[in-house]
Amino acid sequence: MKKGVLKRLWTYVGKYRFAFILSILTAGVYVVFQLYLPILFGRATDLIVGEGLVDIKNVVKIGITASICALIAGLMQWLTEVLGTIISNGVVKRLRKDTFEKLQKVHLSYLDKRQTGDILSVEIGDADKIAEGLLLGFSNLFTGILTILSTLVFMVILNPLIAGVVVVITPISLFVAKFISGRTYKFFKGQSQIAGKQTAMIEESLGNLSTLKAYSQEDEFIANFDSVNEEYKKTSFKAVFFSSLTNPVTRFVNSLVYSSVALVGALLALKGGNGAFAVTAGSILALLSYANRYTKPFNEISSVMTELSGATACAQRMFDIIDSREEIETENTLKLPINGKVDIEGVSFAYQVEKPLIENFNLSVEVGQKVAIVGPTGCGKTTLINLLMRFYSVNEGKISVDGQDISTVSRQSLRSGYGMVLQDTWIRKATVKDNICIGKQDATDDEIITASKRSHAHGFIKRLPNGYDTIIDENSLSQGQKQLLCIARVMLCLPPMLILDEATSSIDTRTELKIQSAFNELTKGKTSFIVAHRLSTIKSADKILVMKDGNVIEQGTHEDLLAKKGFYFTLYNSQFER
């Protein structure tokens, strides 16, 4: 799996081929000029033979050359890091974009099974870790590999025997680094998963803090958080502990390499070898410098391997979202304009196969009819709305609009025919005007104001600091005010069909009467589905569906159902019992 994740990450890097190739070239130039410095210093050392025998002229020339080489190496190193930053940020940007786009397309059941905080942790926290891992990879990994290979070339040129000693010792460091990084992957993956769980818990508690305090559950939530926090600490400790073993081991091997170069060089100098094995004071100095430069990248690469292991674990979580199943979509569209005739034939549905909810449901709604759906909690009212909007697909049967099976048309074209007001309001951080015209982006100011007046939202909007240009969010307005804005959205769009799911649940009785008057005007000639617990609000409905256990057990007008003295009669009168 780890190899597969790295391969997929590489496809994202491939979109920045030019920057990637350029970064390798700049890294190569940096390494060559950096590694040429020890040779220059060695030559300078050999020119300082003793008192009165120093070749000042050539030493100065070597010093100038060394300064130019150091300047070029520094510039190339900076360019390499800049290019690495561009690539890593670009890759993470595309990953975040792909993940966010997939979240807009996945089936709602996928989101229902995951906590919001966990998804936030993947989209933000895990993406940041990938960026850090890739940046280290581009800035240290490739430069380190080039440094190791180039250093060996320079050492072979200076003394093949000493270079051979270094090559023999080196694999120990590589094997240790690979062994440890392979073992730390599962710990880093577990760390990311627990971090997501922790974020979800924080998001849940902060979003419902008033309820939590009302029931005096602070201590219990603190205890639960401490438990998750302790789990995160243990997993993080294991990940860091095992990954930290790499550095001491590689440093030990580095010291062994340096000592071996010094020892072999000293023995060759004492022996006074000739030819390829001949050494001078300057060459020994250069070889020791190369030994340091050769071993340093192993420490950096071991750190990179650790970071990449963590980044790979985070990338796997992002790819899990990207690979999730999308809603099945079609290219067909509903014929416009939509009239609003709805037919439900033999529909069965269950969120979980073993727990059937709606079974063999049939309903025919004529154009312009107002249909109210009532029943006890959990009977399937909101589920029916979800099926009408294709938030979920039916297991059996079909739902048709104007005689066209909605499963054969795109969700976008279907939903464009509905105006929807839910009990759970959604306000984005934007101006009041932007919040109202979500469904009609090209609406004029006059249209927005008219819709607000019809929904009775105009009054409180004008009292805001900047009126319709006031920037609001979820915490800026009361629940009732937010619901009035949501109603104004529908008033603005005037769609041919309406869905009102407890649309006035958070509005005071006086305002509700005004809203009902506005709804009566709005629903004229439009097919409307109204879910309501307060049965007094749906007396004027053309048809009332009484649901229980996923089935319609009664239907008719308000007066007809009261006359039957059945389940609806009991529900209606229970609201007035004291």
Reported as a single tens digit per residue, the pLDDT across 293-343 is 777 777 677 667 767 777 787 888 888 888 888 777 666 777 767 788 899
Q: Does domain 342-574 have CATH number 3.40.640.10?
A: no
Cβ contacts of 369 within 8 Å, gap of 6 or more: 527, 528, 542, 543
Summarize pLDDT for 525-572 with one digit per residue, the tens.
Answer: 788 888 877 776 677 788 888 888 767 788 888 888 888 888 888 887
Give the pLDDT confidence score for residue 274 in this predicted structure.
57
Pick 413 or 135 by higher pLDDT. Answer: 413
Query: Dihedral, CA atoms, 167, 169, 172, 177, nearest 10 degrees?
Result: -60
pLDDT at residue 52 in the model: 55
Summarised one tens digit per residue, pLDDT across range 482-536 is 888 888 888 888 788 888 877 666 666 776 776 677 677 677 778 888 887 777 6
What is the CATH code of the structural domain delimited by 2-322? 1.20.1560.10
Name the least confident of 109-123, 174-188, 344-358: 174-188
Q: 115: which residues sit within 8 A by CB, 6+ positions away?
A: 196, 197, 200, 203, 204
Asked if pLDDT for residue 233 goes beyond 80, the answer is yes
382: its two tokens: 């909101």
Closest by alpha carbon to 365, among 402, 413, 397?
402
CA angle in degrees (0–180, nearest 5) for 529-531-536 = 110
Q: What is the pLDDT of residues 266-292, one digit of tens each?
A: 777 776 655 555 666 677 777 777 777
- List C-alpha distances in Å: 418 to 36, 388, 497, 520: 72, 10, 5, 17
Q: What is the pLDDT of residues 13-64, one digit of tens each?
A: 878 888 888 888 888 888 888 888 877 877 777 777 555 566 778 878 888 8
Hunting for tokens 């101006």 — which residue is that? Answer: 431
- Predicted confidence at residue 182, as pLDDT, reads 64
What percent of the chain is modeled with pLDDT above 90? 4
Beta strands in 93-179 (DSSP E): none
Q: Is 364 in contact with 543 (CB distance < 8 Å)?
A: no
Which pLDDT score is estimated for 299? 66
Tokens 């998963």: give the residue. Answer: 193
| Dist CA 204 CA 209 (whole Å) | 8
Output the CA torsion sign for 344, 350, 354, 356.
negative
pLDDT above 50 (res 435): yes
- What is the structure's pLDDT at 75? 92
**List of E strands, 136-202:** none
Q: Where are the beta strands (DSSP E) in 402-542?
A: 404-405, 418-421, 430-431, 471-472, 497-501, 527-531
Confidence of residue 468 (pLDDT cuts 50, 70, 90): very high
Spatial separation of the C-alpha atoms in residues 360 and 273, rounded to whole Å = 97
Using pLDDT thresholds of 50, 70 and 90, give the confidence band for residue 470. Answer: very high
Measured distance CA(12)–CA(494) in Å, rounded: 44
N-terminal to C-terminal alpha carbon distance within the chain:
63
Strand partners, 355: 352
Q: What is the percent of the chain where pLDDT is above 70? A: 85
User: Is 342 in contact with 365 (CB distance < 8 Å)?
Assistant: yes
Determine how many CB atoms are found less than 10 A away from the CB of residue 183: 15
> 364-391 in b/e burial notation, b at 16+ Cβ within 10 A?
ebeebbbbbbbbeeebbbbbbbbbbbbb
Residue 226's pLDDT is 85
Q: Which amino acid is at 463?
A: R
Distance CA 13, CA 538 (A): 58
Domain boundaries, given as residue ranges, for the chain: 2-322, 342-574
194-198, 237-241, 269-273: which has the minimum mean pLDDT?
269-273
Condensed to tens digits (0 to 9), the pLDDT of residues 452-466 reads 888 888 888 999 999
pLDDT score of 1 more than 50: no
- Asked whether the beta carbons of 14 and 90 are under 8 A apart, the reply is no
**Predicted local distance difference test score (pLDDT) of residue 505:** 63
Cα separation, 370 vs 377, in Å, equals 21
**Selected residue with higher pLDDT from 85 and 217:** 85
Reply yes or no: is the peptide bond before residue 297 cis, omega within 30 of 0: no
- Across the chain, mean pLDDT equals 79
Half-sphere exposure of 260 (CA within 13 A, CB side): 19
Q: Which of 85-89, 112-116, 384-388, 492-496 has the lowest mean pLDDT?
A: 112-116
